[in-house]
Chains A and B, each alone.
Chain A
Amino acid sequence: DGGITQSPKYLFRKEGQNVTLSCEQNLNHDAMYWYRQDPGQGLRLIYYSQIVNDFQKGDIAEGYSVSREKKESFPLTVTSAQKNPTAFYLCASSTERDRQYLNTEAFFGQGTRLTVV
């Protein structure tokens, strides 16, 4: 079955440590995204990538880094510079929009819950 796999589901990090969240997709989608979810705030975009070896900052990129070395993979690193990293992180992917604006759906993974201890 095609889909998006995030791992691990739960992650604990000590203050001052970097940690990397995995996201893999087998949907053959060109674009991938990372969102952060905090209680009562909806989702906010951290980074996105339209193509391999290229990525763009979203609304809350500070303290995060990404890479896109393969089409299938878009790992997110939460660095020690992120002041409040405890949150639920969601990865998503999508195709590019066609001329009739079809295929505008983003598919989401099951999420990784990161807790700083």
Chain B
Amino acid sequence: GNSVTQMEGPVTLSEEAFLTINCTYTATGYPSLFWYVQYPGEGLQLLLKATKADDKGSNKGFEATYRKETTSFHLEKGSVQVSDSAVYFCALSDLGVISGKLTFGQGTILTVHP
């Protein structure tokens, strides 16, 4: 079956530091890949996505590249802000019509200090 493995947290950084959160996956075929963000007490918001190999998703300074050869989709940001503190989830959507049937990683808690 499908699975997603994320870098264990929590991750604690100072403002303006570089961020990497690793994500690797196991799936048959060519799934779509996503990063979702969850702020305290809230639901999930889509941060970025990639639907095929070598695609780069980007949003709000965050980037991730779909690497089929390494089955990875690592999240990066060059300079984090305190407002980026949240839980980040890597997820994949398997093939077929049901695009919201997602397999999630366990989530990585990010805390950014001033």
Contact = CB atoms under 8 A, between A and B. Distances in A.
Nearest to B107: A42
Interface of A: 4, 6, 31-33, 40-45, 48, 50, 58, 90, 92-97, 101-111
Contacts, number: 76
B101 A33 contact: yes
Contacts of A101: 32, 51-52
Contacts of B82: none
Contacts of A103: 99
Interface string B64-78: 000000000000000
Contact of A105 (B4, B46, B106): B46
Contact of A40 (B45, B49, B101, B106): B106
B49 to A, nearest CB: 7
Given A104-B32, A104-B51, A93 B43 contact: no
